[in-house]
Every structure is written in C-alpha cells, then in structure tokens.
Structure 1
Amino acid sequence: MTTQRATAEPGMFCLVLHSHLPWLPHHGRWPVGEEWLYQSWASSYLPVFDVLRELADEGRENLLTLGITPVLAAQLDDPYALDGMHHWLGDWQLRAHEAAADPALGDLGAREHRGAARALETFETRWRHGASPPIRELVDARTVELLGGPLAHPFQPLLHPRLREFSLTEGLADARQRWGSAPRGIWAPECGYTPGLENLYARSGVEHFMVDGPALHGDSALGRPVRESGVVAFGRDLPVSYRVWSPKSGYPGHAAYRDFHTYDHGTGLKPARVTGRHIASDAKAPYDPLLAERALGRHVDDFVETVRARLRDESERLGRPALVVAAFDTELFGHWWHEGPQWLGQVLRALGDAGVRIGTLAQARDDGYVGAPVDLEDSSWGSGKDWRVWAGDQVADLVTLNSEVVSTALDSVDKAFDSAAAHGHSRLRDRVADQILREALLTVSSDWAFMVSKDSAAGYARDRAHKHAHATREIADALARGKRSQAERLAAGWHLADGLFPGLDARRLGSRGSGDL
C-alpha cells in the first residue's frame, strides 16, 4: 500500500459520489423494481456509509461530496421501503444459510452469511428509522458535503420552465427538511445543462453544480463561474475518473474481482470472479477473496499515483495549484463493484498519506479553485456528451409524452386554483393538485429515457412512464369534468403507491409566465 510521504502535492482532489435510483416502491419487485432498491441499499449504501463513518471516527473531515437525489432520499426514509429492506436482509441471511449447508457452496454461504449478519446489525442499529439520521451524522461530523437536486430527477433542459423551477425549489426544500439545511450545491440530473439554467440556480440559492469534463472543453482543472451568474460549474476530470470506470474499461473488470452477472440460481448468490471478459458464466472461476484483496491494493496504489501525477501536470500547466474532480455513481461501489467500498476507504486514507489534499466542492469554491467565467453550452454526461440519450429518435415518443403530460398537469393545477379563487375560497393546500404534479414529475424522470436508450429494462421504463402519465391524466380529467370527489378518490388511490415528497405543495408552483430562464 502507499506509504506516508513528506512532500505535499499541489492543488486539491475532490471525490464526488452521485447517489440515485428512480422511485421503485410499489412498482414491481423482480427483475426490475424493489429488488433493485434493496440490492443497492445492501451492497452500496450500507457499506459505503460504514466506510465514511469509520473515517469520521478517525477524525477525518471533508472527505467527499455526496450527492443524494430527493427521490432516493425519499425511498431511504420511506416506512414501506424500510420494512421491505429489513425483510430482504433477513432473506439474504436465510439464502446464505442454505448455501452454507451445501458442500459445493459452503465457503460462499459462510462468507455471505457473515455479510448478511453485518448488514442486518448495521441496518437495525443505524438505519431502522431511515437514512436521514446517518446522513446528518456525517454532515455534523464534517465528513461530507451534501449535494441536492430537483424532485424525481428530471432532465432539466427538456422540462417546461415552470415545472423545472418548481422541481428544483421543492427538491432543495425537501433536503432542508430531511437534513436540517439546504445544500449549497446540486448534482444536476444527468449533468444536463442548457444556457440559462445558471440563472435558475442563482435564484434558488445554488452556488455550484456538476458538469461533465467535455462541457468545459476538457479543462476541468478549476471551477468556472457560468456567464455573469456567479454560480460555479465543476467539471468531472475524465482521465482520472475513467481510470476507475469508463464505458470501455476500469478496475471492476479485473479478473480477480467478484463477477456481478453470474449467479448461483438456487440461492441467488454470486459465486464467481470475473475470470475473463469473454468467458461464459458457467466457466468462470470461483471467487477468491485473497486474490481480490491483492488486486485491490494494486488499484489503490494506481489511483493514488494517477491523482498525484494529474495534480502536478495540471498545476504546472496552469501555473497555479489545480483542482482534480473525480465523480462516480455511488452504486458503482458495492452494487456493481463488490470490492468498491473497501477500495474507497483505502483510497481516501492513502491519498492523504501520499500528500494529496482532499476536499469538497464547497471547499474548492471557498479556497479559490475557480477560474474565469465560461459560456457553457448544451451538454450532459451521457453518450456523446449531448442530449441524445434523452431526446434522440429512440425516445421521441417519451419526449412527446412528457410534453403532453406536463402541459396537462400545469393546465389542470392552474384551473383548480383559478376555480377556488373564483368561488371565494382561500388558497388552501390542495392534495389533488399536489398529486397531479407528483405524478407528472414521476412521468418525466430522466431514468425512463435512459433505460430505453440503453436498452436496459426498456419495457419496464416505458411502462413506468405511461403509468404515471395515466395517473396524471386520470386525475386531471376528473377535475376537468367537474368531478371533484372522484378526483380526490383517484388522487388518494395513487398516493398510496406514489406518496413520496410529503412536503410537495402545488401552491408554490409559479404563476403562468414564471420560471423563464
């Protein structure tokens, strides 16, 4: 492992993790649905938070910037999902117990049983009342900076300006309610950007946000204020980030690591190591934790040296201390890459020992790692770094659907409040209007277009988009026909499945003509 170095490296390194899943409770279980949530929770969120808590207990501060989308936070605090997770962990332990009794799977079963027992203990002692308490512990310990985002993770450049502003301001309010303070920065969904978004961010109190490196023409060595807004865009450093994981390669594909795709179908456990890229599942070698541990050590050292070299090179190029920002989906660590949480803990210790200053995006901004203003253009972190994943031919029908549903929702909510005003009613909370906006936001989640474009559970994604679209139309239609009681029953029924964001309040939707960039 990397040893202590006396010489400090120039500049600062920021690690950013983006934690996100679409709303999954009550919408299927297997192969896509709640199982996706529980697997990610068990294999990523629990162990990653364990690592961060251990580092906090060592007195380490400002280790990373942690983005948690409002829709994920809602699931991790949801009573139904918490009960489902508890059952899932118990089932994991039972499956491991069954495997341990099989002579062919004994070592795998014993190893998985220990993992399940640890996860159950962690969940029951720290997570049983939701994720907000352990998140706030890390914030109070100054271990992380939190990034928020808009409700339900919409691709903002394609969203109607009124709903765009509503989803962002409500998302920041949701974060404040859960964690005690509004985040200074956000992870814009899919790093999607279009000119003018910086003005919305400035109005909403957002000081900084993430873009992909190519949005800054590859020059991500400093944060860059966007036009005259004062809002800073931080770019993902692709040479460093891609060292860990890229569309073509990365550490998790090493032969010694546990293979994500290979299952023992009797127990649902994963018995194999990657072995080789083109080797069939039934020919893969058994997983060997010692082999994986040795590979992990090499990859920790490799990443530390990569960061050190990048800091030196970029600082020399700029003629001043440079910033390096590496950003990943949190779910990479554990869910996709079994050894990822262990790698994360070792890297965060090793970087400091190697003389690398680690900080958060807020620290980078406050400490002056900011360059000249930049005129950002349309961009994302998707394929081609443009909007094709969310606006291409493959998803043209979803683009049309989203536009129609948003128009229906805005029109319906406006008419509901206009009618109340015309009848002299005070502007009280309207649960029907709230649910219309809630279903519309779930319809326009960026996940559905992403899954279709990537042909990843595309059928499930289309079904989800159309289900929430149907809910929006059904409630709105009852209102349009003057069937208020029916609309209330429909809204209450849909709320049973889609009751996230309890603070969402349609009265805060901007008036017609507001929300323009």
Structure 2
Amino acid sequence: MGRVGAFCLVLHSHLPWLAHHGRWPVGEEWLYQAWAHAYLPVLDVVRRLAAEGRRDLLTLGVTPVLAAQLDDPHSLRGVHDWLGGWLLRAHGAAPRLPALAAREHRLATGALQVFERDWRHGASPLLRGLADAGAIELLGGPATHPFAPLLLPEVRTFALETGLVDTAIRLGARPAGIWAPECGYGPGMEHEYAAAGVRRFLVDGPALHGDTALARPVGTSDVLAFGRDLDVTYRVWSPRSGYPGGRDYRDFHTFDHPSGLKPARVTGRGVEPEHKRPYDPDRAAAAVARDAADFVSVVRERLLEVRERLGRPGLTVAAFDTELFGHWWHEGPAWLEAVLRALPAAGVHVTTLRGAVDAGLVGEPVEVPPSSWGSGKDWRVWAGDQVTDLVALNEGVQKALLDATGRPAGATRDPVRDALAQQALLALSSDWAFMVSKDSAAGYARDRAHGHAERVEELAGLLAAGQERPAAHLVAGWGAMDSVFGHVDARLLGSPRITHR
C-alpha cells in the first residue's frame, strides 16, 4: 500500500502548578498520579516500539519546570513510595473489591517494574536515550509556561532562552522546535524564535486559517508553523466530546473512597457516581480497538483528501497534553500503541515535526494572527476581563525583574538575582490566568500568582535599596527546596543578545 501522507503526533507534558508552594515539591498526589498513569506507560509504549526498530514515533515536549521535577531526587523517592502505596491500597481493597484489587495489584506491580528499570535516575536519561535512538523528537519551550505574547520582549526572550538552556543541559542538545505555551503567538515572535535557534513551533489550526496540511514559514522568516488539525485532534478530545468519554472506559471522577481506586466505567453522560456500572476490562479493550480503528480511518481519509486537494502528499498534526493518555483517560496508552501500530499498515507515514520538514511537507509563507488554542482561539483566556488584575500584576513583576537584574552580561552569577528571576517566571505562568478564567481553583491560582509576585516585590525592593545581605538572607529563608531548578541565570537579562533584539 502506498503512503497517503504523513501523521505527526505531538504530546506536551505540563503540570508546573503542582509544585513550588511552600516546600518544593508539593502537590505530590497530582504529580505522582500523572507520573504513574501517564508518563510511565506512554514512554514505555515508545520504548517497546523503538525496540522493534520503529522510528520517528512522536514529538514530545516537556515543560522545563516539570522536567526538573521528573529529575529531582526528592520527587524520584516520592513517586517510588507512591507506587508502593498504590500496591498497598490495592491489597487493602481485596476483601471488599477482589476483582478491582487484583487488577490494581497487576497495574501497580507493572508500574513499579517500569519505574525501577527506566526511571530511577530521572526522566532525562530515558528521554535522551529515546531521542538518540530516533524514536522521538524532543521539543523545548519557555522555562515555566508563560503566555508569551503578553510578556515584554526582553522577558519573553529570557524565559525562552532559560528553557532552551535547561533542556540542552538535561538532554544534551538544544531543541530546534518548541511547543509554544498555550499555542500563544503574537506577530513578530517568529524573529525572536529565529534568533534563539528555533526553527519550528506549534500553533492551533485556526491560526493557519484551517489549512494545516503543510508546515508554513511565518512571514518573511524561515521559522515554520505547524497547525493542529482540529478535525482530527477533536476526534480524540475536544471541549465537548471525544473517545475518553465513551461509556466503556474507566471513569476518572468516581472513587472507592476507602482505597482511592476507581471502580466504575463512564456508563453514560449525566449518570451519577452511585449509579455507574462496574468497570469491565474486556469492554474497555473492545472500545480501544474500535476507537483506534476509527481514528486510523479518520487520519487516512483526511490525508487522502489533502493529497487530492494539493496534488501532493500532505500531513495532519494531532496534538494533546500527555496527561490525557493514562492520567485522565486510563486506556489512553493502549489506544496510543494500537494507533501507532495500525497507521503504517494503513499507508500513513508516522513521523515527527522534524521528519515532516525533512520529507518536504512545507508550503508557502503565511501571516499568522494573534492566536492561541484557548477559548475563541485568541488571547481572551489570559487577557480578558476576568483576569485584568493578573495582567496588571504580571506587568509589575516584569518591571521589577528588569529593574533588579539589569547588570552587564559577564558579571559574576548572583544567586539572589537568580532566585528573583525564578520567582518572577513562576508568577508569570499562564496557568494562573487559565484557572481563573475557567473558574478552576481560581482562588488558589490567584494566591499562587500573588505569592510569587510578593516575593519578587520584596526581594527587588531590597536590591534597589542596596540591601544585598538582607536580600541574601531572605532568599536563604525560602529554603533550598523552594528553588525551581538551577539553570535560571539572571545574567541573561543583561546580555546584548536579549536586550538588543
């Protein structure tokens, strides 16, 4: 069967709001759930397929602040303990729920084996090995996932440079592609990307006017924008529907409260937890096979339509948060493996963003409007009426950061100003505005944003007054575990490479 076109799966791992509130890391339960149920099984799927000689399976981004957590010794000990606790919870449920307990025992035992074999030294060795083997393409991005279009150019460039440096240190190579946080774009950012060595980035499909069949140079640059094909992506997960909501899949929200295990299947929309039917692995496996076959058919038909329209092969890009596969959607890793195995047999070339460029799947230049993948595909989630206070807060954080760190490049590295920069980058995370706009733990989000901003204000005030020793004492009082990671170098803000762009 001849190839009908190329399919690129892009996954983005991003849970930075789970840490850095008091002693770092906290929010372990959410982090460890995602680690156990998404990161371990997804990368194990890739590892097994790579062992069969398969290459260019998917493109993967890991937000640098999350990469730090996945390499941190405290987190590594913690998730290992959590996996053991999962096993004990399964055993404790055996007298009441023997079938569920037996299944969870097998899952927890398997997760412990995968962790002890592949993860004991952190995520970076595993990711680097898969990348060096050609199984995945690794993306970079700004350090702490800010909504970049709303940042001052100097701060935006600093955040990106910090993230790219961190990824290069962890993985041995500076990324040439990025997942732009929230797919946020503003005109002119492509030139900043080019200056940073970024050659490709992701936008949402409407930013390319819905024509996502080829990568496109942006404006007069040679930086390529890849657009999410929403017709394909939304088949899996959209704001309203998708495979994970199928009645036979395990329900994420229904718990056996004594054990914390999840005993029910979705059953149907609007069904109350107490009325949901017991989870049936055989029914779920049949649903995986059915939905994988449907997705392969959708991708193939899409690529046939593209080839007929263009008169040449094209591509389709489906992009998701990694946490969907296994964490939110229990059967997601099994579905992912089924799809990656079936697509080549259907004549679809599975590749990465880099591989699509190498295959010549590049079209004509395009002007990209201000855009995101949020509601309305514009900036309203991060700059709308609900978050005007956070927009103003971020403006003050950026001004304080620039005022306090504007020393010439090449000066001795200053851990106090590095700490100031770390706190500023955390205050500028896009998650706080997103959570407020979506009314998802809005109070917590505002507390976090203001907490980091207050640290920036207090520390910047001491530095402005020449109070270097009290500033150092203040940072020391925050505690070593409250540092994000060691690759935030505030000297970059004073470098001509950043300030004179």
Superposition TM-score tier, normalisation by shorter sequence: over 0.9
1:486 aligns with 2:470: yes
* Cα distance in 2 for residues equivalent to 1:493 and 1:43: 35
Partner of 1:467: 451
Partner of 2:52: 58
* Cα distance in 1 for residues equivalent to 2:394 and 2:290: 47
* Conserved? CA contact 1:9–1:308, under 8 Å: no
Query: Which amino acid in 2 is paired with 1:494?
Result: W
Larger mean CA deviation between 500-509 and 145-154 belongs to 500-509
Partner of 1:502: 486
Distance 1:441 1:26, change over 3 A: closer
Partner of 1:370: 362
Distance 1:196 1:516, change over 3 A: farther
Alignment of 1:224-235 (within 5 A): 224-235=216-227
Q: Note the C-alpha offset of 1:481.
A: 2.9
TM-score (norm 2): 0.97
Alignment of 1:344-493 (within 5 A): 344-414=336-406, 417=407, 427-493=411-477
* Cα distance in 1 for residues equivalent to 2:427 and 2:478: 13
Q: Any idea what the Cα deviations from partners look like across 1:43-94, whole Å, max 9, x if unmatched?
A: 1000001101010111100011111111111110112211221221121111
* Cα distance in 1 for residues equivalent to 2:290 and 2:183: 31
1:250 aligns with 2:242: yes
* Cα distance in 1 for residues equivalent to 2:212 and 2:476: 47
Larger mean CA deviation between 237-246 and 89-98 belongs to 89-98
1:132 aligns with 2:124: yes
Partner of 2:108: 116
Partner of 1:269: 261
Q: Note the C-alpha offset of 1:512.
A: 8.6
Larger mean CA deviation between 499-508 and 346-355 belongs to 499-508
Q: For the aligned residues, what is the CA RMSD?
A: 1.7
1:341 aligns with 2:333: yes
Q: Note the C-alpha offset of 1:27.
A: 2.6
Query: Which amino acid in 2 is paired with 1:117?
Result: T
1:83 aligns with 2:77: yes
* Conserved? CA contact 1:475–1:487, under 8 Å: yes
Larger mean CA deviation between 469-478 and 54-63 belongs to 469-478
1:37 aligns with 2:37: no
Query: Which amino acid in 2 is paired with 1:369?
Result: L
Q: Tell me which of 4, 19, 24 is aligned to 2:18.
A: 24
Q: Any idea what the Cα deviations from partners look like across 1:165-212, whole Å, max 9, x if unmatched?
A: 111111111111000101110000000000010000000000100000
Distance 1:28 1:122, change over 3 A: farther
* Cα distance in 1 for residues equivalent to 2:498 and 2:484: 25
Q: Note the C-alpha offset of 1:516.
A: 6.8
Q: Any idea what the Cα deviations from partners look like across 1:112-151, whole Å, max 9, x if unmatched?
A: 1111111112212211211001111111111000111011
Query: Which amino acid in 1 is paired with 2:114?
Result: T
1:325 aligns with 2:309: no
Distance 1:388 1:442, change over 3 A: same
Q: Note the C-alpha offset of 1:328.
A: 0.8
Q: Note the C-alpha offset of 1:461.
A: 1.2
Distance 1:513 1:40, change over 3 A: closer
* Cα distance in 1 for residues equivalent to 2:317 and 2:307: 14
Q: Note the C-alpha offset of 1:480.
A: 2.4
Identity among equivalent positions (%) equals: 63
Q: Tell me which of 156, 163, 172 is aligned to 1:180.
A: 172
Q: Note the C-alpha offset of 1:26.
A: 4.8
* Cα distance in 2 for residues equivalent to 1:70 and 1:26: 14
* Cα distance in 1 for residues equivalent to 2:20 and 2:221: 41
Q: Note the C-alpha offset of 1:24.
A: 2.6
Q: Note the C-alpha offset of 1:23.
A: 4.5
Q: Note the C-alpha offset of 1:495.
A: 5.1
Indicate the SS of the match to 2:394: helix
Partner of 1:4: none
* Cα distance in 2 for residues equivalent to 1:515 and 1:264: 55
* Conserved? CA contact 2:405–2:494, under 8 Å: no
Q: Note the C-alpha offset of 1:496.
A: 2.4
Q: Any idea what the Cα deviations from partners look like across 1:456-491, whole Å, max 9, x if unmatched?
A: 121221111111111111211222233211100212
* Conserved? CA contact 2:142–2:163, under 8 Å: yes
Partner of 2:141: 149
* Cα distance in 2 for residues equivalent to 1:51 and 1:513: 40
Q: Note the C-alpha offset of 1:501.
A: 2.6
* Conserved? CA contact 1:23–1:72, under 8 Å: no
Q: Any idea what the Cα deviations from partners look like across 1:228-259, whole Å, max 9, x if unmatched?
A: 11000000001110111111110000000000
* Cα distance in 2 for residues equivalent to 1:515 and 1:361: 30
- How many residues in Structure 1 have an aligned counterpart in Structure 2? 499
* Cα distance in 2 for residues equivalent to 1:263 and 1:95: 13
Indicate the SS of the match to 1:271: coil
Partner of 2:95: 101
TM-score (norm 1): 0.94
Q: Note the C-alpha offset of 1:33.
A: 2.3
Distance 1:306 1:516, change over 3 A: farther
* Cα distance in 2 for residues equivalent to 1:162 and 1:287: 52
Larger mean CA deviation between 16-25 and 40-49 belongs to 16-25
* Cα distance in 1 for residues equivalent to 2:482 and 2:263: 36
Partner of 1:3: none
Q: Note the C-alpha offset of 1:365.
A: 1.1
1:168 aligns with 2:160: yes
Structure 1, unmatched stretches of 5+, are 1-6
